[in-house]
Amino acid sequence: MSQRNVGTLDIERIRSDFPILEREFDDQQVVYLDNAATTQTPDPVIDAMSDYYRYTNSNVHRGIHHLSQEASEAYERAHDRVAEFIGASGGREEVIFTKNTTESENLVAYSWGLNELGPGDEVVLTEMEHHASLVTWQQIAHETGAEVKYIQIDEDGRLDMDHARECITDDTAILSAVHVSNTLGTVNPVAKLTEIAHKHGALSFIDGAQAVPNRPVDVEEIDADFYAFSGHKMAGPTGIGVLYGKKQLLEEMEPYLYGGGMIRKVTFEDSTWADLPWKFEPGTPPIAEAVGLEAAIDYLEEIGMERVQAHEEELAEYAYEQLKAEGDVEIYGPEPGPDRSGLVGFNLESVHAHDLASIMNDHTVAVRAGDHCTQPLHDKLGVAASARASFYVYNTREEIDKLIDAIDDARQLFA
């Protein structure tokens, strides 16, 4: 695949890398619009993982034989590739592999939060946080006596930055904010939020699960202290996530998971820890998944992240306009623009989101329905659930037209 101008992707060429998109149910080709949950995996990523298992499979950092050395080199190279991809100049020492974004949140919450937070400290979140952030910090606050505060959203689904400045004070220990909302599609000003936090001596944790897959991200431009994302949302495999952390912070933190591979010296009385990043990666790590993640990064960069972003935003704008024209569809989040990403959450009047998703499935249109792991946000919006169409580099306008056709069918059925 060659580099192209922004917005001029060869979609058919890209789609040919994803055989699952050719699947049919009841003689209808699948329309996959559930990418915010999990993107599909292209052949180059599958091939890279398959080749690893065929020719290299071995454990890492534990053997002196050829296969172990090759596996170790591949695993370490994947860390380096991730660091390069997100602009982490500290290299592999600032990149920890986890199972997913949720585990990355928990790693910081338990390794840093449980030891550093106490009564009088504040944890500042946003009202649009995913449960991975909200529940984790909520429970750590219960254990430590810290207080959780929430930055409000306005009626358009954007963060109220005046309220952010009120919430973040000298008592704030850490700000944890989602880069892109998985429900509203809002792109938050995370660099500005981090700047405000730092002015008050607080750390920042940015949940990039919905950002890294579809736009260029530079963690050092954001100046985030911690930044997390998942492989399966960026054309990579399930079972691997990334925690970026500034080296000095990671060096000062104690691990919260223990076992083989993360130790330097063990006696019957005590243990000391390996160097970064290994001290946070106990046990046999996700080696094949790391190989797959590296291949996914190569795949996306060959397309160009600016092109990925432009294509998603174009589709989201088209979907927004088509849904708005329906008249009886409520859309959540900002209007199309620089602070909206490639997903659209909505509800059809008088039709429950689950019923709507079921009818769409009859049309072989795959969307997500429910609270999207943002129950408090849905409470704020005054709805029990919403439908969500989310797009990726292989989606087309024609697929959005099929989405609209399915909505029209649902309207008639529930008339």
Q: Can you give the pTM of this predicted structure? A: 0.96
Which of 245, 270, 301 terminates a domain? The answer is 301
Percentage of the chain with pLDDT > 90?
97
Q: What is the pLDDT of residues 270-311, one digit of tens each?
A: 999 999 999 999 999 999 999 999 999 999 999 999 999 999
Cβ neighbours for 201, distance < 8 A, ≥ 6 positions apart = 170, 172
Is residue 5 a part of any domain in this protein?
Answer: no
- Here the CATH number for the domain that contains residue 259 is 3.40.640.10
5 — pLDDT class (breaks 50, 70, 90): very low
* 391 and 371 within one domain: yes
- Residue 20 in contact with residue 327, Cβ under 8 Å? no
* 325 and 296 within one domain: no
Q: Is 167 a catalytic residue?
A: no
pLDDT of residue 4: 35
Q: Is 252 helix (H, G, I), strand (E, B) or coil?
A: helix
Six-digit token string for 316: 């989201």
Q: CA 400 to CA 211: how far, in whole Å?
A: 22
Residue 120 identity (one-letter amino acid): G
* Number of domains comprising the chain: 2
pLDDT of residue 3: 39
Q: Which residue spans within 275-363 are E strands per DSSP?
A: 329-332, 343-348
Q: Which of 21, 263, 373, 384 is catalytic?
A: 373
Q: What is the pLDDT of residues 303-340, one digit of tens each?
A: 999 999 999 999 999 999 999 999 999 999 999 999 99
Residues 37, 42, 47, 48, Cα dihedral to 10°: -60
Cβ neighbours for 127, distance < 8 A, ≥ 6 positions apart = 150, 151, 152, 153, 376, 377, 380
Six-digit token string for 203: 């750390």
364 — pLDDT class (breaks 50, 70, 90): very high
- Here the CATH number for the domain that contains residue 338 is 3.90.1150.10
* 159 and 68 within one domain: yes
* 290 and 308 within one domain: no
Residue 408 is part of which domain span?
Answer: 11-32+304-413
| pLDDT, average across residues 230-249 | 98
